[in-house]
Chain A
Amino acid sequence: MSALLEVKNLQVSVGDREILHGLTLSVNPGEVHAIMGPNGSGKSTLSHVIAGKPGYDVTGGQILFKGEDLLEMAPDVRAAKGVFLAFQYPVEIPGVATMTFLRTALNAQRKARGEAEFSTPDFLKRVREVAASLNIPQEMLKRGVNVGFSGGEKKRNEVLQMALFQPSLCILDEMDSGLDIDALRVASEGVNALRTPDRAMVVITHYQRLLDYIVPDHVHVMSKGKVVKSGGKELALELEANGYAQYQEAAA
């Protein structure tokens, strides 16, 4: 089986400061990988670089997605090819109705892939189904994107998009931040419903708690811009018990 995502010896800087110092990660279809680590270890940087956020200099290494050089692609091309980043802090876009945004984005992706655009009735039907499964009221879809949404609603809106766009790689950046236990459960159920043999997920989190809901196949510990340890889901429990201190020393 060839890897869906291959990050090889990735080195990334912001300005003069190197944040990732040679990170390697391989994710196969169907797998859920958790990336854990203390604040400042470079977890979010990794997710931003995979999605194509400007402002990061890749000074070495490469990222292959389905065998193609991801770093050569514009962010929208990556999205159309199946990369989805669920943002830690989804932005508010006043004046752009959620429904308009969803339809514009979905059709832009389909068009880029050479697929027919969804007709309005088909689109509405799909959104309604997915929204209902996530307990997202129709009224929310009429509002500006994330405008006036609670933290939980914003995260559910990310999961809604994931379900609608059907990406092959989902990167969840600190999905648990700012969520209470009920909101976390609803969002996690939405994510779990999207687990399929050909879709992979990279779950970035600071705490083990999220991994009780989204159970990973592999766990990686990041510290100071590198993966310092990889293991199975039991590694997350060990971290919960012993903390990150030992890995921070290992990376130093």
Chain B
Amino acid sequence: MMSIAVAKTEKADVAGANFASIVASQPGAGKVADARREAFDEFQRIGLPHRRIEEWKYTDLRALMREVLPVAPTPDAAALARAEAAVKLHAIDGVRRLVLVDGALAVALSDLSALEAGLSIRSLRETLDAGDDRLLSLDTGNPMTALNTALMTDGVVIDVADGAKLAKPLHIVHIASGGAPAAMFTRSLVSLGKESAATVVESFVAGEGAGVYQVHDTAVMTVGDRARLDHVRLIEDSRDAFNIASAEVRVGAHAHYSVAGVTTGALVSRYQLVVNIAGEYARVETNGVNLLNGKQHADTTLVMNHDVPHCVSREGFRAVVDDRGHSVFQGRINVRQPAQQTDAKMMTRALLLSDEAEADNKPELEIFADDVTCGHGAAIGALDDQLLFYLRARGLAEKEAEALLIQAFVGEAIEAIADDNLRELAIAAATRWLEARR
């Protein structure tokens, strides 16, 4: 294992002294190295975020995560072999697969040949070495993003040229190969030129034997004018893993961005998505489902920034929580003064299947424009006894009746995924969770 610092819970334990040795082994020099140092200082000032920081009130990483694990070593042949087996298990037909093993792009497991016209795929490592500024644009106000900036090792940098419409979805698979407990720091970039179109699926999975590990992932996405990006996230990490991710998406004029996430894995996960709607007549749809049991904790935090007029945003989020699971949804819609004629709606619903299950919904609207249509709704409840009895009176056993109703609850959110194959994929992830529950 590489000699690296372990950033611990208490600020005093963040081993800044060893930072020079970590940064030296990470890609990028000059501006990149400066940014890493600044970001690490930023992280050190706050340490792991805790409940007294408003945005982290429901996800106290200082209590849940306690420490940042050492950076994972570059995967060796054995790690790549374990990862290959996991890739086969989670393979999707008809996609271009890009595999990150323990946070490093595994070229041998990735499909980088015969790229369509207008598609460019590079590793983060080579891009940072070339000094690409776009990768440093993330807001460092979030300590976990700052930590990621400081330690990012690798990732994929995808550029789609103006007018290029990718027929094959891109499937980015993050795999923990199952070595010693470690942390992966990845950053990816997806940039769609004007009038282009792409579908990006991100899967987070565990190789055989992978238990305790940490995913620290960030993404920077740009959807050019009149472009369309369909984005799917599937969190199927090990039940002992942490997955802390954040993304910033910039959406241009007349562009369409849709994202749908299904979280069934990881012990603790958080996805913080900031969407900056920067061009008029853009449309953004975000959908998510958390399916949790045991002691799983999943936090979805969305910030929708309407900065320009005539844009539409739709946020739909659902959670199914069993046992002592805990689902968090924080949704904030900011409508700035110039963003007249904004049409923004947010709906969140949680289904609690046990007395100890918890769901926290925090919708926030901040509106400075006076000619807008904005709304939000939140509902938390149990399965409807009347519906359960109807199904049981028709011959369905208790668990079967519950499963059908949960499937329906989840399905309403997943149906928003436009692509048939991706929708099936999301349904399959949810079905696996339901079948494990029976």
Contacts and interface: CB of A to CB of B under 8 A. Distances in A.
A52 interface: yes
B395 A93 contact: no
Interface string B387-404: 101111111111011001
Contacts of B391: 93, 101, 105
Contact of B395 (A54, A79, A96): A79
A106 B395 CA distance: 7
Given A104-B400, A108-B396, A108-B397, A91 B387 contact: yes
A85 interface: yes
Given A94-B412, A101-B404, 4 more contacts: A76-B392, A76-B396, A105-B391, A106-B395
26 contacts: A51-B393, A74-B397, A74-B398, A76-B394, A76-B396, A76-B397, A91-B384, A91-B390, A93-B391, A93-B405, A93-B408, A94-B412, A95-B412, A96-B408, A101-B391, A101-B404, A104-B396, A104-B404, A105-B395, A106-B395, A108-B394, A108-B396, A109-B395, A112-B395, A161-B394, A165-B394
Interface of A: 51-54, 74-76, 78-80, 84-85, 87, 90-91, 93-96, 101, 104-106, 108-109, 112, 144, 161, 165
Contacts of A108: 394-397, 400
Interface in B382-432: 384-387, 389-398, 400-401, 404-405, 407-409, 411-412
The number of chain B residues touching the other chain, given as a range, is: 20 to 34
Contact of B405 (A75, A85, A96, A161): A96
A83 to B, nearest CB: 8
Which of A96, A106, A112, A144 is packed against the most chain B CB atoms within 10 Å? A96
B398 A91 contact: no
Given A95-B409, A96-B405, A52 B386 contact: no
A75 B393 contact: yes
Interface of B: 384-387, 389-398, 400-401, 404-405, 407-409, 411-412
A96 B404 contact: yes
Nearest to B386: A91
Nearest to A105: B394
Given A95-B407, A96-B405, A76 B412 contact: no
Contacts of B394: 76, 79, 101, 105, 108-109, 161, 165
A129 to B, nearest CB: 20
Contacts of A85: 393
Given A76-B397, A104-B400, A90 B408 contact: no
Given A96-B404, A96-B408, A104-B404, A53 B396 contact: no
Nearest to A75: B392
Contacts of B387: 91, 93
B395 A165 contact: yes
Nearest to A100: B404
Given A74-B398, A104-B400, A79 B408 contact: no
Contacts of A95: 407-409, 411-412
A80 to B, nearest CB: 5
A15 to B, nearest CB: 16
